[in-house]
Amino acid sequence: MSEVSKWPAINPFHWGYNGTVSHVVGENGSIKLNLKDNKEQVEFDEFVNKYVPTLKNGAQFKLSPYLFTGILQTLYLNAADFSKKFPVFYGREIVKFSDNGVCTADWLMDSWKKDYKLDQSTMGFDKKKFGEDEKETHPEGWPRLQPRTRYLKDNELENVREVDLPLVVILHGLAGGSHEPIIRSLAENLSRSGRFQVVVLNTRGCARSKITTRNLFTAYHTMDIREFLQREKERYPNRKLYAVGCSFGATMLGNYLGEEGDKSPLSAAATLCNPWDLLLSALRMTEDWWSKTLFSKNIAQFLTRTVQVNMGELGVPNGSRPDHPPTVKNPSYYMFTPENLIKAKSFKSSLEFDELYTAPALGFPNAMEYYKAASSISRVDTIRVPTLVINSRDDPVVGPDQPYSIVEKNPRVLYCRTDLGGHLAYLDKDNNSWATKAIAEFFTKFDELVV
């Protein structure tokens, strides 16, 4: 009997569109939060019950009656045309890190809706002017960006840096980026109140970014989050910082929070559809028929394309250039070869990808050992930042069999379990995401009321 068969499979015939939120609080209770005005203290779960009605214990929500299972929700989110939804504009910054690597930060630019004459009814805008500005700012040799995204001019970047509103940093899913519908939905909802500055931190090599070192992102890859947040905290020491991670970005955020403990500059955090135990998720994606057939191959091919478009950098032998000193003394680190790329193009699961690339690069003998070591569940007990967790029991990628009892034991973590929603979707009849609205409501009330 395989490991995954010990737990319940996602049942495609378990259906519905009237969802319910359930708070799961462990034996250690819930941390007390200090409120601003009356200096009263309120427990974390009671704060959500009282001030965030969308997420209160027992709250109900309605999803699309046409997307009545988690599988349908997830498939539609990944396959439907959302080009006329969530019309956010992004200004891109190339962020350089201490190891000479880079990622990109896509800053939400609400003012550009007016500058480029966005028509909310048709989603049309002045594409000629936008194209001229895009051409002027685009760095040579970098890939063309997604719609409504361009690089910032020097003066625009300075203006972004002068904003001292509370900042929300969004971390996307595996091989995704700021262009994903769920990320655009989240960014739009967070910006709607005008209370926050919002930025999406695109992981190295994702969202048409370039890789400039021989390091692919992994679940261990928390150094960029750490450096970026520290940079922003140094810029405005007194403003609040928040972060929200989606799927694999939630894993990276969970690992960062656990590693940092009390040192994190974040005031609060949220995770959506985190695969807390990567080993269980990998087993589900390779052995559960529905998950394997409908989702696993697409994820593997997304990852393979990331390698393919960056082969010019990844294929350079380690240590052959002065700006690429050896970092891993392991012959298998020379895995970025044309032969391996051909092999990877036939992969049907992310496990195969991690077996060939990720695990050897980190010095693990195989992907399973990497998953065991890199799961955020092993660091949840040292999280010291109030953290809202949302996971659905009908998530075909994460599954219902995660060890949530460990999550519940940390009083700083509030686990909101939903019975419906799929993986990152939670789409209602208008294809808006209930989850992104709920997360935005949580951060708004937290920032407004908590010291």
pLDDT along the chain (451 residues), means of 10: 38 76 92 89 97 98 96 94 94 95 96 95 93 96 94 97 96 93 98 96 91 82 95 96 97 98 98 96 85 84 86 62 43 72 91 92 91 95 97 92 89 96 97 98 97 93
Q: Are 381 and 258 in contact (CB under 8 A)?
A: yes
Residues in the chain: 451
The neighbour count for residue 350, using CB atoms within 10 Å, is 28
Q: Are 130 and 114 in contact (CB under 8 A)?
A: no
pLDDT of 14 reads 61
Out of 3.40.50.300, 3.40.50.150, 3.40.250.10, 3.40.50.1820, the CATH code matching 4-284+372-449 is: 3.40.50.1820
Catalytic positions, written as ranges: 247, 395, 423
pLDDT of 3 reads 35
pLDDT of 53 reads 98
335 vs 332: CA distance, rounded Å: 6
243 vs 449: CA distance, rounded Å: 17
pLDDT of 289 reads 80
Q: Are 101 and 213 in contact (CB under 8 A)?
A: yes
pLDDT of 332 reads 43
pTM comes to 0.92
Q: Are 300 and 406 in contact (CB under 8 A)?
A: no
Q: Are 196 and 190 in contact (CB under 8 A)?
A: yes
Residues of the chain with CATH 3.40.50.1820: 4-284+372-449
